[in-house]
Amino acid sequence: MTDLGKYQDPLTIQRVLHTANTVAIVGLSSNELRASYFVGYYLKRRGYRVIPVNPRETRILGEKSYPSLADLPEPVDVVDVFRAPDALPEIARGAVANRAGTLWCQFGVINAEGNRIAEDGGLTVVVDRCMKVEHARYVGRMHWLGFNTERITSVRSGLQ
């Protein structure tokens, strides 16, 4: 078991959510019922620029889809991964080459080598967390459906 706690720090997650603008989603599906589509759709509606990375598609969510991270025309703030854990080391190398800010691995995308490659390349790494859930937890509305956000605060802020 990898110790994932260091990749799930709430302050780091909040910093990434609040500073990111462009999010490349590796493995984004064009199937509206897949989890990756739910996340891409949500992040786009919440104002992030979503860049699909999927060699089998040309456009997803109305955005041009790129075959790989190496094909991206610019560095992105977050590389969000919806792929099998085995694919992570190569994706991490692509994220480092892209000079991306953060490697974000969705639920179950757990690969210690991939994490190390990204960290050595200077990236922030988040693992086994959903970017949609974390956004909804800290910026708002997840609590409207009775989910346990684990937040305790008396500060007036957030998305109503």
Which residues would be at the binding site for other proteins (CB under 8 A)? 9-11, 14-15, 17-21, 32-35, 38, 41-43, 45-48, 107-108, 130, 133, 135-136, 138-160
Tell me how far, at minimum, the Cβ of 149 lies from other proteins, in Å.
7
C-alpha separations of 154 from 24, 82, 135, 157 in Å: 34, 35, 19, 9
10 three-state secondary structure: helix
Residue 91 or residue 142: which is nearer to other proteins going by CB?
A: 142
For other proteins, give the closer residue by CB, 43 or 88. Answer: 43
Nearest distance from C-beta of residue 105 to other proteins, angstroms: 14
Cα–Cα distance for residue pair 24/33, rounded to 1 Å: 19
Which residue, 69 or 132, is less far from other proteins as judged by CB? 132
R_g (Cα) of the chain, nearest Å = 15
Separation of first and last alpha carbons in the chain: 38
Instruction: Tell me the two tokens of residue 97.
Output: 């080459």
CB of 101 to other proteins, least distance (A): 12
Q: Which is nearer to other proteins, 85 or 89 (CB)?
A: 85
